[in-house]
Structure 1
Amino acid sequence: MSERRACKTIGCCRMTVRYRSIRPQDEALRERMVALARERRRFGYRRLHVLLKREGHAVNHKKLFRLYREERLAVRRRGGRKRAIGTRAPIRLPLAPGERWSLDFVSDQFTDGRRFRILAVVDDCSRQNLALIADTSLSGTRVARELERLIARHGKPTMIVSDNGSEFTSNAILAWADKTHIEWHYIAPGKPTQNAFIESFNGRLRDELLNETLFSSLHHARAMLARWQADYNTTRPHSALGWSTPSAFAATFHPQRAPTLRLSNGSAPTPVAQPANELSKTAGSELTTG
């Protein structure tokens, strides 16, 4: 088919088919732009345009952007820190002490300005504070070691709940959870209400001890934390437990008759969760997470 008939068939102008671009290739400009981009790997086309103008290259920013795209020099945006994705499955409320623990960190400082951290561990059913570990640095390996010590004292929980902190998502914790066969539940990023038990405890710890005490040293902080922990578990009344203490509630708990618990004073506390029905699941027995 001739060119005339082909252009008529497809409806194209013969001048367009015969046109040959006279646009310069700008090889020198391209080479210098690529060299600058390799030297300044995080510079975009705007900053490269400024550098090229300083060197005497008279080029429009729109033309430079076209060359920039043709050379595929676009800077990739760096993503945020990788976080563990919280599960979308509902999490059941614990029906007995030792079923589920919650972990979180609290920060404070000494009188000289140095900061320290506190690892808090809470039993979600009895509300008992199982540990308050204070140190200037708490790595994932240290967290795993402290959890081993708590398991030796209190027994192994079925599940542990935490946020997406770097210590809880470290390889040390992932390997430890796999070795001990403990389910580790990560809340959805930015949703601290999904870990409400430990968040409530952190609020009480901050209000009643950390904001009321000046810590002079790590030894002083550990001593005050141990004293407050004993008071919290054995003396301080807890409103969610019918104004009983966490230790008293855990001591009188019997799994077979959880809905009809009786405290030492004869009153029945508000149940932590209703037992799940074999045939149906009620919304009150589940805590939506993410």
Structure 2
Amino acid sequence: MRTVLRICGVPRSTYYYRLLHPEPQRPAGKGRPVPGFSYDQTGTQVTDGRIQTWLRRLVQGPNAAFGYRKLTVLLRRKHGLLINKKKVYRLCKSLNLLAPKREKMSVVPRKIANNRVVTGANQLWQMDIKYGYVTGQRRHFFLASIIDVFDRNIVAYYRGSTCRTPEILKTIQKAIEARKVGQREIPLILRTDNGPQFISKAFHAYCEQVGVEHERIPPRTPNKNAFIESFHSILERECYQRHCFESNEEAFAEVDRFVHYYNHDRIHGSLYDWPPTEYLRRVQTGMLSPKTLAL
């Protein structure tokens, strides 16, 4: 031992003093101890165990894809909890409810033309077509959707085994009737990509007839149609990947359910955590200040 102490340069008196006077063990972690409860709006204590039960129930329904931040919003609204997202994260982690982090995509520098300022509903719509797959029939189906950039509502959509220009035109007409958009001084903008349905003579003639200004994004620039692309990404992740469709009827019914849920119930982070329909109602009644978008 003397040789070891000499090699390490530790005096013998220091070594033996530490043996006789060991430092007390500190508890793992730093900061104040976890209280094990939170308060609701009435000042009542709610135990972590009960909060965990609520979390389990929340993720068993249509909110299964939500992360801890949106679950925090639901706990506050449904149960009146005074709780922050950090604690919800800790409780979700203890229940193994956190989804694995998605890999970040590499950021590629690109120039975006910010030539539109959107201040209200029915100023700019985006439209695109997405595929779905019916496993039982081993074939794809089509979904054509129109989103209002301002309030993120899916104003109209079409799903079917084919998707040609006539179906696209009927979908636009459905959206115009749903939003009561007629001929006006400042025309509604409809933005699409360069799919064959959107560059046809019939499509161009129809837009002129109903007073809709059609604009197409440049090739290979889906970022200019970001809002409808985002919706289709959510649809893929929270609907398509969670079901194995055996028939077109089953697939169409699930798409109908999801679009209704998206418009009326699914909270949206960029809309003050309100669903699109509720956000638009609150803006129109003066309860919320509208968000101006430049794109």
TM-score with structure 1 length normalisation? Answer: 0.58
Runs of 4+ displaced beyond 6 Å: none
Number of the residue aligned with 2:227: 197
Q: What is the rounded CA distance, in whole Å, between the counterparts of 2:268 and 2:147 in structure 1? A: 14
* 1:216 lines up with 2:246 in the alignment: yes
Contact 1:134 1:221 (8 Å CA) reproduced: no
Number of the residue aligned with 2:291: 272
Contact 2:157 2:171 (8 Å CA) reproduced: no
Contact 1:101 1:122 (8 Å CA) reproduced: yes
Number of the residue aligned with 2:166: 141
Structure 2 unaligned segments of length 5 or more: list them.
Answer: 1-111, 182-186
Q: What is the rounded CA distance, in whole Å, between the counterparts of 1:103 and 1:138 in structure 2? A: 13
Number of the residue aligned with 2:7: none
Q: What is the rounded CA distance, in whole Å, between the counterparts of 1:208 and 1:235 in structure 2? A: 14
> 3-state DSSP class of the match of 1:253?
helix
Higher strand share: 2
Bigger-Rg structure (1/2): 1
Q: CA deviation at 1:262?
A: 3.3
Q: What is the rounded CA distance, in whole Å, between the counterparts of 1:117 and 1:124 in structure 2? A: 22
Q: CA deviation at 1:155?
A: 2.1
Number of the residue aligned with 1:242: 272
* 1:162 lines up with 2:187 in the alignment: no
Q: What is the rounded CA distance, in whole Å, between the counterparts of 2:277 and 2:284 in structure 1? A: 14
Root-mean-square deviation (CA), in Å?
A: 2.0
TM-score with structure 2 length normalisation? Answer: 0.57
Indicate which of 109, 114, 125 corresponds to 1:101: 125
Q: What is the rounded CA distance, in whole Å, between the counterparts of 2:118 and 2:294 in structure 1? A: 10
Structure 1 unaligned segments of length 5 or more: list them.
Answer: 1-87, 256-260, 274-284
Contact 2:148 2:154 (8 Å CA) reproduced: yes
Q: CA deviation at 1:272?
A: 2.8
Q: What is the rounded CA distance, in whole Å, between the counterparts of 1:216 and 1:272 in structure 2? A: 41
Q: What is the rounded CA distance, in whole Å, between the counterparts of 1:186 and 1:119 in structure 2? A: 16
Q: Determine what percentage of the aligned residue pairs are the same residue.
A: 26
AA paired with 1:236? R
Q: Which has the higher contact order (CA 8 A, sep 6+)?
A: 1
AA paired with 1:150? A
> 3-state DSSP class of the match of 1:230?
helix
Number of the residue aligned with 2:63: none
What is the aligned residue count? 178
